[in-house]
A = this chain, B = another copy of it.
Amino acid sequence: MPKENTENNEKFGYFDDLNYEYVITTPYTPTPWINYLGNDGFYGLISNTAGGYCFDRDPKFRRLTRYRYNSVPLDNGGRYFYIGCNGEYWSATGRPVNTELDEYTCRHGMGYSRFNASKNNIATEVTSFIPLNTKAEVHRLIVTNNNDTEQSVDVFSFIEWCLWNAEDDGANYQRNLSTGEVEVEDSTIYHKTEYRERRNHYAFYSVNRELDGFETDRESFLGPYRGFDRPLAVEKGQASNSIARGWSPIASHHLKLQLAPGESQSLVFTLGYCEVEPEQKWAAPNIINKTPAQVLSARFDCDEKVSAELKKLNDYWHNLLGKFQVQTPDDKFNRAVNIWNQYQNMVTFNLSRSASFYESGIGRGMGFRDSNQDTIGFAHMVPEKVKERILDLSATQKEDGSAYHQYQPLTKKGNADIGGNFNDDPMWMVLSTANYIKETGDFSILDEVVPFDSDPNNTASHFTHLERSFNHVVNNLGPHGLPLIGRADWNDCLNLNCFSENPNESYQTTQRGASDVAESVMIAGQFVLYGQEFVDLCINIGKADLAKSCQSEVDKMRQTIKQHAWDGEWFLRAYDANGDKIGSNDNAEGKIFIESQGFCVMAGVGFDDGKALQAMNSVEKHLSTDFGIMLNQPAFTGYNKYIGEITSYPPGYKENAGIFCHNNPWITISEAMLGRGEKAYEYYSKITPAFLQDVHQLHKTEPYVYSQMIAGADSATPGEAKNSWLTGTAAWNYYAATQYILGIRPEYQGLRIDPCILPSWDKVSVSRTFRGATYKIELRNPLGLSKGVIQLEIDGQKIAGDMIDPTVFANQHNVIATLCNKD
């Protein structure tokens, strides 16, 4: 039934909203469609055919299993289960064996994936998950004989060990091929490479049943020059009990099952990670201390324990997602907001752009800009973790208010290789902090004592850090009074001071231009928006004088934008190192950019004089396509070293006129602020995967999560997405949908109800947990409006204004919010 897709005409799956699952019906999706396991520092990526890998905290330094990016065959390496019966063998997860299955589904759920397969009436179910607070992947395999005769079934598990440091693992073979070491005891295979030396940690792969054999040496398992599709041991039906000595250690258990007609048997595999105190590392010379592994695997030594852990995981996710649940007349909107968008936000929080099918996990640290923005997607679910993240980021800020562009997750120190001078960075911390306080009411974060540049001897309150962010903009203005762009602003690829001609250097860390000239209109809009946030924050904590002086800087910038950054029909994007316009009708290419339109309008610039509306109309006219809003138009047809990396991409891809989804919600929010509910919804739905069922073959990436980029109109493949999962799109689109379309917006004084919806939505129900209370909000729209005046009724009692005050209405309340005409 699940046939290989050689003609590009297949359907791939469907949503099962009841179970919070996406059900994939073929192993042959356009790209591997993945899910994430793990919540507490131990994570796994798992594709719809069980490809991927797992790691502890850092995907570069603590990778447990080996995975080959951009491999041939694609998606090569994972947790494989080979099922052999009557001379045939196949994969319980659809691949890597090419044997066609009679039945196949993969269900990606919240923190687990489940694979059902059937061949010749031998049915298998693999459930893969990382239990809460556990450093192990658990894989439960149930094999059922649906034949009317007894059957002998061979099961071979398989994973390949990564030698911990993933970068070294893929480069330093003159060492690596000599270091691999394993031990086997009972039904557990231990991976102890480098444990003999500086590593105080090992990994193991166990099963809750006596073995009929094992392999720990890759070549012994596969046979020479064979792929994962036809391992020799599986073909022979017998493992050779190999012990790896260098080369490539693996773990494969061989189990022979005897199954009566109708009988099911279950096997639980635990792939775990253990740290051991240095003085307790060894049980005997060269024999590792196995107690921690035994304790860990004993937690999953029977079905009942596994089911209990699965239930805990399920409850955890239902609780988290339950903080915000909406019912609109639009199932796709509901599905996106209630399930997948929140889920993706949490994965982005956990992984922070480090490990996906596109991010190889060895390349980068935590971005200052990204990590601050991402918090707006999950502050309502895990506020305490947001606080910690914000303070970690704050501690890498330098004394002058500038920021390291990235920091290292293990050391939490700023990354000196990449450095700073991305001049939008500092102000994002105002967004994350204000959003956190509005969600929680916890102003104490401002009083936390935080180092500058990780120096414990040089500290200040977090509030002072924010003030430094504010002043960093004020202290770095260019000839027009607009903020200097530095190396780049949010658009890392707009490199106005780079002038690179050498292909062996980075666009972003090379700098030859006059960095005291090039200015960013996007940062100008960002400063007005988050500068105003800072002013409001000052007012809320009683710093009236500071608020006043800051307000004057914000007002000045607002005027400067109108005076120097308006091009006639839209906002300019920047001034380059020669003081010439970027993103102007005067330019031949790159006449209009999305970022400055979004940020100036979100900042409220031009609401008074029609410029905001005009800018949005220009976005629609010049940038909007069926697949989303392009970053700029016209695309750059050739490289321009004065503009930078953006011009290096083929037209229509990535920052060069691609649909770079991260910034699309800025327009959604802008339209909502302008009251144009249909436009806001249109932009929201165009890039939201749940709406794209009909174009999956084209779109290619997972239909349940956002991708970073969709190819634009100038490309050869408009609508084709890339770089799914770890993108700022997730947080921003969730923020746009909940706070601006639904308009359920936390503010310092409470939860404001200020929707801008489709006129056709007559009723919307929302359940929202806020500062410990739960509000069941029913939004009524009897007049078919998008935006209007809200009449509030709480527990049957009319309330003035559109704000729910949690100090008045604690615990649980029913809220009816009716959208009325403005007058």
- The digit string for A303-336, where 1 denotes a CB below 8 A from any CB of B, is 0000000000000000000000000000000000
Most buried by B among A73, A170, A285, A649: A73
Closest beta carbon of chain B to A501's beta carbon, Å:
6
**Are B503's CB and A177's CB within 8 A?**
no
Interface residues of A in 152-201 (CB under 8 A from B): 160, 164-165, 170-179, 181, 194, 196-199
Asked if A20 is an interface residue, CB under 8 A from chain B, the answer is no
Task: Please give, as numbers and ranges, the residues of chain B lying within 8 Å of A639 by CB-CB distance.
Answer: 196-198
Among A103-111, A354-362, A516-524, A744-752, which stretch is in contact with chain B? A354-362
Interface residues of A (CB under 8 A from B): 4-6, 27-28, 30, 61, 68-77, 95, 160, 164-165, 170-179, 181, 194, 196-199, 218, 222-229, 232, 243, 245-246, 248, 285-286, 357-360, 362-363, 410, 500-504, 637-639, 641, 647-650, 653-654, 658, 708-709, 715-717, 722-723
Q: How far is the CA of A503 from the CA of B198 in the complex (A)?
A: 5
Can you list 28 A-B pairs with a CB-CB distance of less than 8 A? Answer: A6-B224, A27-B225, A61-B503, A69-B171, A69-B173, A70-B177, A72-B218, A72-B222, A72-B227, A74-B225, A164-B503, A165-B503, A165-B504, A170-B360, A171-B360, A172-B360, A178-B649, A178-B722, A181-B650, A194-B648, A196-B648, A198-B501, A198-B641, A227-B229, A245-B715, A246-B653, A246-B717, A285-B638
Task: Please give, as numbers and ranges, the residues of chain B lying within 8 Å of A170 by CB-CB distance.
Answer: 69-70, 170, 360
| Contact status of A637 and B199, CB under 8 A, knowing A223-B6, A225-B75, A649-B179 | no
Task: Please give, as numbers and ranges, the residues of chain B lying within 8 Å of A648 by CB-CB distance.
Answer: 179, 194, 196-198
- Complex: chain B residue closest to A362, CB-CB: B171
**Are B224's CB and A4's CB within 8 A?**
yes
Task: Please give, as numbers and ranges, the residues of chain B lying within 8 Å of A502 by CB-CB distance.
Answer: 198
Task: Please give, as numbers and ranges, the residues of chain B lying within 8 Å of A73 by CB-CB distance.
Answer: 222, 225-227
**Are B178's CB and A653's CB within 8 A?**
yes
Task: Please give, as numbers and ranges, the residues of chain B lying within 8 Å of A358 by CB-CB distance.
Answer: 173-174, 177
Task: Please give, as numbers and ranges, the residues of chain B lying within 8 Å of A410 by CB-CB distance.
Answer: 504
**Are B709's CB and A6's CB within 8 A?**
no
| Contact status of A709 and B178, CB under 8 A, knowing A173-B360, A653-B246 | yes
Q: Which one, B30, B286, B716, contacts A637 given CB within 8 A?
A: B286
- Complex: chain B residue closest to A640, CB-CB: B197
Task: Please give, as numbers and ranges, the residues of chain B lying within 8 Å of A171 by CB-CB distance.
Answer: 69, 360, 362-363
**Are B225's CB and A172's CB within 8 A?**
no
Q: How far is the CA of A171 from the CA of B171 in the complex (A)?
A: 11
Closest beta carbon of chain B to A383's beta carbon, Å:
30
Closest beta carbon of chain B to A801's beta carbon, Å:
45
- Complex: chain B residue closest to A219, CB-CB: B74
Task: Please give, as numbers and ranges, the residues of chain B lying within 8 Å of A649 by CB-CB distance.
Answer: 178-179
Most buried by B among A223, A285, A504: A504
Q: How far is the CA of A197 from the CA of B649 in the complex (A)?
A: 8
**Are B178's CB and A232's CB within 8 A?**
no
**Are B177's CB and A722's CB within 8 A?**
yes
By Cβ-Cβ distance, the 6 closest A-B pairs, closest first, are A197-B639, A197-B648, A198-B503, A245-B716, A178-B653, A73-B227
Task: Please give, as numbers and ranges, the residues of chain B lying within 8 Å of A500 by CB-CB distance.
Answer: 198
Q: How far is the CA of A178 from the CA of B657 in the complex (A)?
A: 12
Closest beta carbon of chain B to A49's beta carbon, Å:
8
Task: Please give, as numbers and ranges, the residues of chain B lying within 8 Å of A165 by CB-CB distance.
Answer: 503-504
Q: How far is the CA of A341 from the CA of B707 in the complex (A)?
A: 54
Q: How far is the CA of A781 from the CA of B586 in the complex (A)?
A: 90
Closest beta carbon of chain B to A644's beta carbon, Å:
10
- Complex: chain B residue closest to A709, CB-CB: B178
Task: Please give, as numbers and ranges, the residues of chain B lying within 8 Å of A248 by CB-CB distance.
Answer: 70
Q: How far is the CA of A224 from the CA of B501 in the complex (A)?
A: 37
**Are B197's CB and A650's CB within 8 A?**
no
**Are A197's CB and B647's CB within 8 A?**
yes
**Are B227's CB and A227's CB within 8 A?**
yes
**Are A178's CB and B650's CB within 8 A?**
yes
**Are A232's CB and B196's CB within 8 A?**
no
Q: How far is the CA of A223 from the CA of B647 in the complex (A)?
A: 32
Task: Please give, as numbers and ranges, the residues of chain B lying within 8 Å of A164 by CB-CB distance.
Answer: 503
Q: How far is the CA of A229 from the CA of B229 in the complex (A)?
A: 11
Q: Which one, B176, B179, B225, contacts A650 given CB within 8 A?
A: B179
Most buried by B among A181, A197, A218, A245: A197
Q: How far is the CA of A658 from the CA of B245 in the complex (A)?
A: 13
Task: Please give, as numbers and ranges, the residues of chain B lying within 8 Å of A177 by CB-CB distance.
Answer: 70, 358, 722-723
Q: How far is the CA of A641 from the CA of B722 in the complex (A)?
A: 46
Closest beta carbon of chain B to A54's beta carbon, Å:
18
**Are A224's CB and B5's CB within 8 A?**
yes
Q: How far is the CA of A737 from the CA of B454 in the complex (A)?
A: 59
Q: How far is the CA of A623 from the CA of B223 in the complex (A)?
A: 34
Closest beta carbon of chain B to A437's beta carbon, Å:
33
Task: Please give, as numbers and ranges, the residues of chain B lying within 8 Å of A196 by CB-CB distance.
Answer: 638-639, 648, 650
**Are A359's CB and B72's CB within 8 A?**
no
Task: Please give, as numbers and ranges, the residues of chain B lying within 8 Å of A501 by CB-CB distance.
Answer: 198
**Are A723's CB and B174's CB within 8 A?**
yes
| Contact status of A68 and B72, CB under 8 A, knowing A164-B503, A500-B198, A650-B196 | yes
Task: Please give, as numbers and ranges, the residues of chain B lying within 8 Å of A6 by CB-CB distance.
Answer: 223-224, 232
Instruction: Known A-B contacts: A68-B68, A181-B650. Give 4 more (CB < 8 A).
Output: A4-B223, A74-B225, A173-B359, A179-B650
Task: Please give, as numbers and ranges, the residues of chain B lying within 8 Å of A359 by CB-CB distance.
Answer: 173-174
**Are B61's CB and A72's CB within 8 A?**
no
Q: How far is the CA of A179 from the CA of B503 in the complex (A)?
A: 14
Q: How far is the CA of A484 from the CA of B3 in the complex (A)?
A: 67
Q: How far is the CA of A228 from the CA of B27 in the complex (A)?
A: 19
Q: How far is the CA of A639 from the CA of B175 in the complex (A)?
A: 16
Closest beta carbon of chain B to A366's beta carbon, Å:
16
Task: Please give, as numbers and ranges, the residues of chain B lying within 8 Å of A654 by CB-CB distance.
Answer: 175, 178
Task: Please give, as numbers and ranges, the residues of chain B lying within 8 Å of A77 by CB-CB distance.
Answer: 72
Closest beta carbon of chain B to A699's beta carbon, Å:
14
Task: Please give, as numbers and ranges, the residues of chain B lying within 8 Å of A160 by CB-CB distance.
Answer: 72
Q: How far is the CA of A173 from the CA of B360 in the complex (A)?
A: 7
Task: Please give, as numbers and ranges, the residues of chain B lying within 8 Å of A74 by CB-CB distance.
Answer: 224-225
Q: How far is the CA of A362 from the CA of B503 in the complex (A)?
A: 16
- Complex: chain B residue closest to A708, CB-CB: B174
**Are A71's CB and B69's CB within 8 A?**
no
- Complex: chain B residue closest to A51, CB-CB: B225
Q: How far is the CA of A165 from the CA of B227 in the complex (A)?
A: 27
Q: How far is the CA of A708 from the CA of B170 in the complex (A)?
A: 20
Task: Please give, as numbers and ranges, the residues of chain B lying within 8 Å of A181 by CB-CB distance.
Answer: 650
Q: How far is the CA of A75 from the CA of B229 in the complex (A)?
A: 16
Q: How far is the CA of A708 from the CA of B649 in the complex (A)?
A: 43
Q: How far is the CA of A30 from the CA of B227 in the complex (A)?
A: 16
| Contact status of A503 and B68, CB under 8 A, knowing A245-B650, A709-B178 | no
**Are A173's CB and B224's CB within 8 A?**
no
Q: How far is the CA of A357 from the CA of B722 in the complex (A)?
A: 32
Q: How far is the CA of A197 from the CA of B495 in the complex (A)?
A: 14
Closest beta carbon of chain B to A749's beta carbon, Å:
41
Q: How far is the CA of A179 from the CA of B652 in the complex (A)?
A: 11
